[in-house]
Structure 1
Amino acid sequence: MSRSERLLDLLQVLRRHRQPVSGRRLAEETGVSLRTLYRDIASLQAQGAHIEGEPGLGYVLRPGFMLPPMMFSEEEVEALVLGSRWVAKRGDNRLAMAAADALAKIASVLPPDLRATLDASPLLVGSRQPIAEGIDLGLLRKAIRGERKLDMRYRDNDGRDSRRTVWPFALGFFEQVRVLVAWCELRQDFRHFRTDRIAEAAMQDARYPRRRQALLKDWRSAQERAACVEGAEAADITSAKVAADKN
């Protein structure tokens, strides 16, 4: 392993720990001697990394130090390419364009050998049938980011329309459908809505009264409780598709 790769690994390990971590543990996780670890920490500090601490007390990396894209490993570049290709095939048009733009920005600052890896990546994403959408998914993502209420007209599995005001906080992407996860004011509970059945949607100026992260946490807890009652493993976003098909 080169010295630059070793320093990168050390930064990645430090990022995983939000509290001070001992030098001995850092040395074990990075596979170097304690003496080498102390030298590497000093090198990173000299390069501007905000590493606080000292031997015997532990170390913590403070926010603010960014690595240039050229420090990506080959596998990290392949992961970026695969993710971008997946979004291009599975996301809506805006997300597909954003993925292509992001990959182009990364490619522009990569060294020649890694740029070749990016251009010639053998990791492919299979094609799929087009998904019909009743509304612009960009509107849903905007409402989620801004924590805004949505007024919408929704058509259930039997073709019945209903008016809903919801608090959207997540969007799930599946092979054939996309699912909006939200708190429904009508049902006073979490609900899952297939986006191809949303006939109309309008974002309100008003923010909903809870933070998106709190709603997501409570939704996950509700999914886990439901799974325990059914004697199944803890549920995740995939269970939202099943619920939306019944909604």
Structure 2
Amino acid sequence: MTVARSERLLTLLQVLRRYRQPVSGKILAQETGVSLRTLYRDIASLQAQGALIEGEAGLGYVLKPGFMLPPMMFSPEEIEALVLGSRWVAKMADVRLAAGAVDALEKIAAVLPSELRAEIDESTLLVAGPRRPDDKSDLVLIRKSIRAEHILELAYEDEKGALTQRRVWPFALGFFDSIRIMIAWCEMRQGFRHFRTDRIASAISTEKRYPRRRSVLLKAWREDQGIPAPH
């Protein structure tokens, strides 16, 4: 297989990964810059290599989970994205998540060919940002509660320092340059609310599941905020 064809097949896989619903061959051909005939041949080649691509001409194609890319197929841009992303998380996230970013990049580097490993070691992409306010809350607890879909009981400060007690259903955590935001359904307000983590004086997990799934809440929040859903 030529290098050009390998890169083309990798590009096709990456495009397919962006779509959760079947996508037409015409769209795939346009996004990968090949003819429809070449697109069909490439799909057949990937299927022969074990890629779980379902569908057929006229109906569309979807890539099912389970097909792993060989690490040597990372492009320079993908390596740079991994390095930049891990450095951003290492700088902006809590200690546990920051350590996870560093460890993940080390695992990737360990299986890369030497020339690609050098791309990581010698990357000149740096992350800088303003200092965040210190968090009073336990971000590890918040992330665990989001994963487990557990209700949290909060003591939350407003901008004047006044405390209110809240029961919330946390489902997302937003990281910004200067603050972090926990996104949750608030039982008291009966609506979506954004809680600055540096104003969460205390958070206790009830260990009880909230009645709606995290994915359902996230979808409803996106619609409420007018945020388009990902492909």
**TM-score in same-fold range (> 0.5):** yes
Match of 2:72 among 63, 67, 70: 70
Q: Deviations over 1:68-102 (max 9, x none)?
A: 22211110110010011111111111111000001
In the alignment, the residues of structure 1 paired with residue 187 and residue 175 of structure 2 have an alpha-carbon distance, to the nearest angstrom, of 24
2:91 maps to 89
Give the CA deviation at 1:40: 2.4
Match of 2:151 among 149, 157, 168: 149
1:199 maps to 201
Please tell me the residue identity of whatever aligns with 1:119: D
Match of 2:167 among 165, 168, 177: 165
Give the CA deviation at 1:217: 2.2
Gaps of 5+ in 1: 225-233, 236-247
In the alignment, the residues of structure 1 paired with residue 189 and residue 56 of structure 2 have an alpha-carbon distance, to the nearest angstrom, of 54
Give the CA deviation at 1:53: 4.2
Alignment of structure 1 residues 1-247 onto 2, 5 Å: 2-55=4-57, 58-129=60-131, 131-224=133-226
C-alpha change, 1:52 and 1:92, in structure 2 (3 Å) is closer
Q: Runs of 4+ in structure 1 displaced over 6 angstroms?
A: none
Give the CA deviation at 1:22: 4.6
C-alpha change, 1:28 and 1:139, in structure 2 (3 Å) is same
Q: Is the 8 A contact 2:132 2:177 kept in 1?
A: no
Q: Is the 8 A contact 2:12 2:32 kept in 1?
A: yes
TM-score by length of 1: 0.82
Q: Deviations over 1:123-173 (max 9, x none)?
A: 111153253111221101111111100012112111211211111111122
In the alignment, the residues of structure 1 paired with residue 89 and residue 23 of structure 2 have an alpha-carbon distance, to the nearest angstrom, of 36
CA RMSD of aligned residues (A): 2.2
Of structures 1 and 2, the larger Rg is shown by 1
Q: Is the 8 A contact 1:149 1:203 kept in 2?
A: yes
Give the CA deviation at 1:46: 2.1
Further displaced range: 119-128 or 139-148 = 119-128
Structure 1 residue matching 2:207: 3-state secondary structure: strand
TM-score by length of 2: 0.87
Please tell me the residue identity of whatever aligns with 2:51: A
Identity percentage over the alignment? 67
- How many residue pairs end up in the alignment? 226
Gaps of 5+ in 2: none
Q: Is the 8 A contact 1:89 1:128 kept in 2?
A: no
In the alignment, the residues of structure 1 paired with residue 121 and residue 22 of structure 2 have an alpha-carbon distance, to the nearest angstrom, of 39
Structure 2 residue matching 1:86: 3-state secondary structure: helix
